[in-house]
Structure 1
Amino acid sequence: MDTKDVASDIENVLLSKEDIQERIKDLAARIDADYEGRDILLVGVLKGAVMVMADLARALHSHVTMDWMAVSSYGSGTQSSGVVRILKDLDTDLLGKHVLIVEDIIDSGLTLSWLQSNLRSRGPASVEICTLLRKPDAAKVEIDVKYVGEEIPNEFVVGYGLDFAEKYRNLDFVGTLARHVYE
């Protein structure tokens, strides 16, 4: 699916397919340098991180294993409350492992802050965060994110794993969703 398929639904393309791949390549180079000689456990947060994690794993030269978590944060509508429920937990024991949480986007940071704390309590050697996108103006809590692909404005974006009502995840770019779609 590309821009012509959803032209009336997208106001602005923030990152093209090529832009995304360049960010992923840059993130992978930094991660490879930082984890040289160590295996990495990539922990993807479902469902949004699927695209980022798949492309990042392929771009890395380090040995990686992968696991997935699904979490739900309660709140009203599109707002996260930070109260988190695990829907699908990891299958991997984290003891002594170098864990890299992979996210598609960080906005409020409430859910990710909880997740990072939860994973640190499981005895890993390290826990870091990698995200393709971050909305600094939407942050409600301070989170140390080691790897950020791009900072974006606090707008509703879709594509490359990001959805609205489970649609638009399969776009090969990230764009701002037109208001008429969600209002």
Structure 2
Amino acid sequence: MKIRDLEFREFISEPETLRKVQSLAELISRDYQDNPPVFLPVLNGSFIFAADLIKRITIPCRVSFVKVSSYEGTSSSGQLKSLIGVDESLFNQDVVIVEDIVDTGFTLLKLVDELKGLGVRSVEVVTLLRKRPAREKNINVRYVGFDIDNEFVLGYGLDYDGLGRNYKEIYKADL
């Protein structure tokens, strides 16, 4: 399939993705059974993953949203842009950040620092995808769906300049 100037091919199937989402939901539900968390999906990319994950969580929980960005085209810009912040107090709360992908880890580290500054009791991360650069920097991500190399991916909420979020499968670019 072609989007803009790039060719993409299927990388992770919808059934494989949903099995992984179920597994992550079971782990999180077990780990937080005594302390219901606040899920904090990072928009826009995590919206499909977050919806599927939270539907499978079996414990009480709250959901709030944050929108941050450091992407332009196919790579991180290196500049964190907080566009929409949290609209409720997270003081003394257990927070689980929901990310679609941890690439360089830059955005995630800044977000974790901001949350710690708000006085959260704990902050953990669940991500559908984690790229090699984040693993090499030892970015702390407690719950990981799939470890991938440095592929450029779209689908299941991930995009290329706003396109491709609507695909059920995850595709990777032939770069």
TM-score, structure 1 as length reference: 0.86
Tell me the distance in 2 between the aligned counterparts of 1:134 and 1:90. 24
Show structure 2 runs of 5+ residues with no match.
none
2:83 equivalent in structure 1: 87
Tell me the distance in 2 between the aligned counterparts of 1:77 and 1:158. 10
Aligned pair 1:167/2:159, yes or no? no
- 117, 124, 127: which one pairs with 2:120? 124
2:107 equivalent in structure 1: 111
TM-score, structure 2 as length reference: 0.90
| Residue pairs, 1:1-183, within 5 angstroms | 7-8=1-2, 11-73=8-70, 78-81=75-78, 83-137=79-133, 141-179=137-175
- 8 Å contact from structure 1 (residues 157, 174) kept in 2: yes
1:131-182, Cα deviation, whole Å (9 max, x unpaired)? 0000124667431100000001211110000000111000001011244xxx
**Total equivalences in the alignment:** 172
Tell me the CA shift for residue 75 of structure 1: 7.5
* Equivalent position SS for 2:64: strand
- Stretch moving more, 134-143 or 61-70: 134-143
Show structure 1 runs of 5+ residues with no match.
1-6
Q: Go from structure 1 to structure 2 and tell me whether the alpha carbon gap of 1:165 and 1:73 turns closer, same or farther (over 3 Å shift).
A: closer
- 8 Å contact from structure 1 (residues 80, 108) kept in 2: no
* Equivalent position SS for 1:18: helix
Flag the structure with higher strand content.
2
Q: What is the identity percentage for the equivalent residue pairs of Structure 1 and Structure 2?
A: 34
